[in-house]
Amino acid sequence: MNMKTTVIKKVLIALDYDETSQKVAEQGFALAKAMNAKVVLLHVISEQPVYYSAYTYMSELQVDVMGDLKTATQKYLDKVKKHLGDESIQTVLEYGEIADIILGTAKDLKADIIVMGSHSRKWLENIILGSEAQDVLKKTTLPLYIVPTKKQD
């Protein structure tokens, strides 16, 4: 029986602003290095108000929230890239629905695997992923490498 081996050439690592995302980046990077694959770090700025709660009080200052957020996020991606110590890492910053953007970016960049964190606090008890990971899992045709990001007690 001749099995066709899928060669993994590009790993898309989807990160958010959670403190566990460094672990997700490191795990995804290790996976990519083991396969000699290229790495893309992706952060999606979602339309959800979760980001903006701190800004609502500053509206009288006319803060350019999206501009500031974009700058801050790009700095964050660059910091993660620097931490991983590989200049060839590509960084991508997108806006929109998290799951859709992750899947769309994976398709556009011809990624072979998607790496993301689970965000579930009860990872093993109920195998329920964070809603974004669940959405991606439902719709993806690519393998998904999920890094459990449960906080250590």
Is residue 93 exposed (0-12), middle (13-18) or buried (19+ Cβ within 10 Å)?
middle
Is residue 65 exposed (0-12), middle (13-18) or buried (19+ Cβ within 10 Å)?
middle
What is the structure's pLDDT at 82? 96
What is the structure's pLDDT at 48? 54
What is the structure's pLDDT at 18? 75
CA distance 81 to 117: 17
* Regions in the chain scoring below 50 on pLDDT: 49-53, 58-63, 120-127
Mean pLDDT of the chain: 81
What is the structure's pLDDT at 28? 97
Six-digit token string for 32 = 């990519």
Name the β-bridge partners of 119: none
Domains in the chain with CATH codes: 10-147 (3.40.50.620)
Q: How much is the pTM? A: 0.79
CA distance 12 to 19: 19
What is the structure's pLDDT at 68? 81
